[in-house]
Amino acid sequence: MLIADGNYPASTTVGPHAQVVHLNLTPGTVDAVTVLAVLAAALPVEAAYVMSPDPDGPHASWPDPDIWARFAETLAAAGWVTPIAGIPRHDFYAEAATPAVALVVVTAETALYGNLLLRIGVVEPGQ
């Protein structure tokens, strides 16, 4: 599952089986953290990956975007102990375009690098 920011090229960089939901009506509304909070409360997140700058690119020395900490706080608040890993931008695009990605939620997130790829597990009986 991909939670995409408002800059993500969802018209060309999604998997062949992905359903795309557009929530990007107005910049900043609905944001990626709000979408993550709803999904993390309902689904078993097994892994989370942010899109990071390419290690040899011009933005490699930038500090981590604030939104990454907000993603981690949101996952922790939902009770998930899920470390977030970074995937360089072009590798992230490749991962998001695989047949395994079933859902892309395009948000109106305005933060740079506000994309999050989630691996969802199995809901256990009784949950």
The per-residue pLDDT for range 33-76, each reduced to its tens digit, is: 999 999 999 999 999 999 998 778 777 788 899 999 999 999 99
Q: What is the pTM of this model?
A: 0.91
Structure tokens that stand for 57 in this block: 């690119």
Q: What angle do CA 78, 80, 84 make, to 5 degrees?
A: 115
Looking at residue 85, its amino acid is A
The predicted pLDDT at position 6 comes to: 94
Domains in the chain, please, with CATH?
A: 2-120 (3.40.1650.10)
